[in-house]
Amino acid sequence: MSESSEVLFIEGGRVIDPASGVDGVRTVVLRGGQVAEVAERVERPRDARVIDARGRWVTPGFIDAHVHLREPGQEYKETVETGARAAVAGGFTAVLAMPNTVPPNDSVAVTELVLARAAQAGLARVYPVGCISKGQKGEELAEMGELFQAGCVAFSDDGRPVSSSGLMRRALEYARTFGAPLAVHEEDLALVGKGVMNEGPAATRLGLKGNPAQAEEVMVSRDVALVELTGGRLHVCHLSTAGAVRAVRDAKARGLAVTAEVAPHHLALTDEDVAASGYDTDFKMAPPLRSDADRAAVRAALADGTIDCIATDHAPHSAVEKAVEFDVALNGILGLETAFSVCLALVREGALGERRLVEALTAAPARIFGLPGGSLAAGSPADVAILDPGAEWRCDPERLHSKSRNTPWKGKTMIGRCTHTLVGGNLVYELARGER
């Protein structure tokens, strides 16, 4: 990612930077690819470039700890370039690319390909996540040391759990030697069985097999115990149940190195939305949309910091893979371009504060994965999102930047939108004036 040599002033916006404790109208000065200054009054050279941010939020660029870019192997769904383009359109300046590609990212060659594609795109920063096990088969550890040296920032078999407790123990011990977290997909497959949505009254009414909350909770509890045994670092992906919240809260209270993320769809929707959708497969994901009580628990946990960050689990699929019976449709939905508006609704409902929302999208993921960014402090990377919290727009899947169209918010009126995204001081996204 080349850094801009240009001097840029972002003026008149409300700067919300929880990492620096700044919340107020400020001018942000970017120079040489870094944040040079954030102040109430700054003398501007006459020839400086200016972005007028009046009426908008100016925040550190969002960091998404969980996206599926599908390259290599499934470029018909998404590529590194189209995924990065969707990211910057949503205000994300950095994403972690999950390793369940074809082949999986269990080799230096795949890691280097992802990094090369990201450099060619020149949009969001892309940080590869390497596999925990070779081929994501859960049988033998991947060459985690080589992957870390090649640029992987974490390890995961996402899309699948690490079912073997012994392998998980060794992975935690090994990753500890270079300080990288394991980002885990927590499902006990024996409990999931053939379940395709949350086990409960809605599944019964629809005649669909249920996936119980306990399938997630027993795995989170097991891995917390293994963290206690090994001293490793655990990051729970897409946490979705009240019981998993209790396990993470208890682990943190005991000082264990456990963090967690929640996806916007688990904050916004429940299994009753599956029922209301009429078997719409754009409401199918893993873990599934849970009960109203689970949704309330993850909202409260995000607000109080038990859940550290918001991550989209952006999972593009083709129309062919979704236009089938609910039982056989693939899991997953798009998330990058709708995350801000979906989560901003929680602020309007009083479930989440504005600063906590921004913190969960910026400083928190940077802290968990040891990434640059997540702050507008002087000397930080000039990665910035400018957001209009009042912008009203209609979610038209055909106008999204992702290659795929699988979103449950299709046709919905959304409030809140990214208008500008800068990475390394370069303006990589600007919302068309006719859409503001």
Preceding omega of 397 cis (within 30 degrees of 0):
no
Confirm whether residue 185 is marked as ligand binding: yes
Question: Measuring CA to CA, how many Å separate 224 from each of 115, 171, 229, 242, 410?
Answer: 32, 14, 9, 16, 38
Residue 46 is labelled as binding a ligand = no
**30, two tokens:** 């970017």
420 is in an annotated binding site: no
Among all chains, which residue has been given the structure tokens 């942000």?
Answer: 28
Q: Is position 100 annotated in a ligand binding site?
A: yes
Active site residue 17: no
Q: Which of 223, 308, 313, 383 is flagged as catalytic?
A: 313
Q: Both tokens of residue 23?
A: 């919340």
Q: Provide the H-helix boundaries in 193-262.
A: 201-206, 214-230, 242-253
235 is in an annotated binding site: no
Is 258 within 8 Å of 234 (Cβ atoms)?
A: yes
If you write DSSP's letter for every residue of 49-103 in order, what string do you get?
A: EEEE-TTSEEEEPEEEEEE---TTT-TTT--HHHHHHHHHHTTEEEEEE-S-SSS
Whether omega before 287 lies within 30 degrees of 0, making that bond cis, reads yes
Cα separations in angstroms, 199 against 81, 204, 245? 37, 8, 18
Nearest-angstrom CA–CA distance, 313 and 273? 19
Termini Cα distance of the chain: 28
Residue given tokens 């991947």 in the structure block: 142
- The C-alpha angle with vertex 53 and arms to 48 and 57, in degrees rounded to 5, equals 135
Strands 7-17 and 22-31 turn out to be: antiparallel
Does the annotation place 68 within a ligand binding site?
yes
Query: CA nearest 307: which of 361, 384, 349, 376?
Result: 361
Going by the annotation, the residues of the binding site for substrate are: 68-70, 100, 317
Going by the annotation, the residues of the binding site for Zn(2+) are: 66, 68, 158, 185, 238, 313
User: Which are the catalytic amino acids?
Assistant: 313
Going by the annotation, the residues of the binding site are: 66, 68-70, 100, 158, 185, 238, 313, 317
